[in-house]
Amino acid sequence: MGNVIYIDVLIVLNIFINYFLLLATTFFLHQKPKRWRLVVSAVVGSLFSLLIFFDNIRFLLITLIKLPLAAVLVLIAFGYHSKSLYIKSVLSFFAVNFIFGGVMMAVWMFISPSGMYFRNGTVYFNISALTLIAGTLIAYFLIQVVSYLLDNRVKKTELMNVVVEADGKQVVLSGFWDTGNKLSDRISGMPVVICEFCSIKELIPLEIQNVFLTNSIDGLARLEQHEWIQRIRMVPFQVVDHSGMLTAFRPDHFYFIYKNGKKSKDKKVLIGVTDSRLSHGEYNAILSTTLKA
């Protein structure tokens, strides 16, 4: 009796696997796409597995199908911001798939499932859904570990506790001294400290938080009557991958807390807000070395 492939199991498991592969890719890219984008991309990717039911398709044609499919999945999941960033995203997705493939091959070798079916670039393991899910979670964990090891480890001497205050509210952040951060406001000349939105949002009035998430000049124009309008600046930036505008605000107070507990003098800065992760938890703000003076 030949191998039996259940189409519902095939689709559901591939959606599950694709979702975790895309989620793992975010660790390499340090991006936080919307979860619905990952789900849609995973569903679209699962349709490729249906090729297993077709007659044998030539390898070249399969390759021509898989390459643009991967590009489409990345586009759906992460969007398009620049050519270089898009290429980096596609390559990262390929790397994650390579790691996953190695883990699944190890599962197949050590558990020795009774059957394995390969056709048209799709592999169907005749193993339980629980085993396949466990293998996916193991691969996901290993990908996180690899991503963490590839990142530059932060030395404690490169970190500084900083306090940001606005409208009587206060947050304490862990700042990283970045010699490459030369960002400053062209009008005032004040250096820009880049902070993760999730760590600074409690200082920002709820009704205007979306302006900092979208970096929209149109959104800023609608705040003409808001009391924060005098605080906010749109700061242009240029990095290797892309350029754009960063929404920033002027805090009431900004100062450092040294290891001996003493506070620095107030620093005149702008707080640039980003929705991207800056690290794996070591720090949530990027400081300019000009603030050391």
CB 56 within 8 A of CB 45: no
Q: List C-alpha distances in Å: 222 to 32, 168, 185, 206, 266.
A: 27, 25, 22, 15, 31
Query: CA-to-CA distance for 129 and 124, rounded, in angstroms?
Result: 11
- Residues of the chain where predicted confidence (pLDDT) is lower than 70: 1-4, 30, 59, 63, 82, 101, 104-129, 132, 136, 143-144, 146-157, 216-221, 238-243, 293
Question: Residue 224 has what pLDDT?
Answer: 72
**What ranges in the chain are assigned the alpha helix state H?**
7-29, 35-46, 59-78, 83-111, 129-150, 197-200, 209-214, 217-221
Residue 242 in 3-state DSSP? coil
Q: How far apart are the first and last CA of the chain?
A: 77
Residue 63 in 3-state DSSP? helix
Task: List the beta bridge partners of residue 159.
Answer: 176
CB 278 within 8 A of CB 194: yes
Question: Residue 17 has what pLDDT?
Answer: 81
List, in order, residues 6 or more apart from 224 with CB less than 8 Å away.
Answer: none
Residue ranges per structural domain of the chain: 7-150, 156-292
Question: Residue 79 has what pLDDT?
Answer: 85
Name the residue type at position 247.
Answer: T
156-292 placed in CATH 2.40.70.10: yes
| Strand bridging mode 285-288 / 169-178 | parallel
